[in-house]
Amino acid sequence: MKIDSHQKHEFLSTAESLYIMLEATESIVQRLIEIEGEQQRHDVLSDCNALSRIEHISEPAERQDSKPKSPLEVEPLVRAHLAARNVRDEIFQKDLFGEPSWNILLDLYSAHHAGKAISITSACIASGAPPTTALRHISALQNEGYIERIEDTSDKRVVYIHMTHKGIEVIEKWASALK
């Protein structure tokens, strides 16, 4: 098989394009590795910050310099936190940050104060995770006593979940720790 100059030019042009794409891909991968390192450093700092806040919460009440927030103060904070997460999810790749249990708790707390019933399906959607993953998180939250399931009396196919007193206390304790 003989290759003419036109075919040779096309081959070289294709090879050059592939090489450029390979270089671009390598550059993207390198940046992703850098971003992952930055995220890990951020996660470590976040963990340290969370630990110091937990230590502060565990101090005797007389040593703490702020009183617990009332439910009326907590609910807007929870809604603002949810709104901030929605903005974050619009800017970043949605599955980059995964906190299904936390998303469920915040959504349920907000629904609790709005007097709304949340179905299992709605909670799965609020979790931001695939349904099977969300269901595992719902079960874990139920096992910890933060939420409970209630069957719909008129439609046995529908199950609602709501926060228990313990779940409400935990969210309010978290909100009180924020200054």
Give percent above pLDDT 90 in the chain. 29
The answer to whether the CB of 78 falls within 8 A of the CB of 107 is no
Characterise 115 by phi-psi region: left (phi > 0), alpha (psi -120 to 50), beta (else).
Answer: left
Is the confidence at residue 92, as pLDDT, over 90? no
DSSP per-residue codes, 125-147: HHHTS-HHHHHHHHHHHHHTTSE
CATH 1.10.10.10 fits 70-179, yes or no: yes
What confidence tens digit (pLDDT) does each residue in 39-86 have? 555 554 554 455 455 445 545 544 444 555 565 677 777 777 777 767
pTM, 2 dp: 0.53
What confidence tens digit (pLDDT) does each residue in 151-177 have? 999 998 999 999 999 999 888 887 777
The answer to whether the CB of 159 falls within 8 A of the CB of 150 is yes
Give percent above pLDDT 70 in the chain. 55
